[in-house]
Amino acid sequence: MTKQQLLQEIRRILQKEPDRMYSREEILNLLGEKGDDPEIESLLAELEVSSSLKESRSDVYATCRGGTVYYKWNR
């Protein structure tokens, strides 16, 4: 899968249950067959950074709780 396709898959997962928060590990497990972990990790890191920028109107909200990063669809 291309980087863009993996990003679309991540967004699709988050949109499926917009009120649920997914941990980084859950997303890696869900996408394990579709891409390699380092590539998925890189995309998740990019989403995390973009969600923290105020001027960014990111569709994804990322937060860290107890040392684990969680992602949620930002409606």
pLDDT digits (tens, 9 = 90+) for 16-57: 999 999 999 999 999 987 777 888 999 999 999 988 886 667
| Helices and strands (H and E) in the chain: how many | 3, 3
pTM for this predicted structure: 0.84
Let me know if 54 is exposed, middle or buried by CB neighbors in 10 A (0-12, 13-18, 19+).
exposed
| Architecture of the domain delimited by 3-73 | Orthogonal Bundle (1.10)
Reading across the β-sheet that carries 22-23, which strands appear in turn? Answer: 22-23, 68-73, 60-65
> What pLDDT does residue 55 have?
64
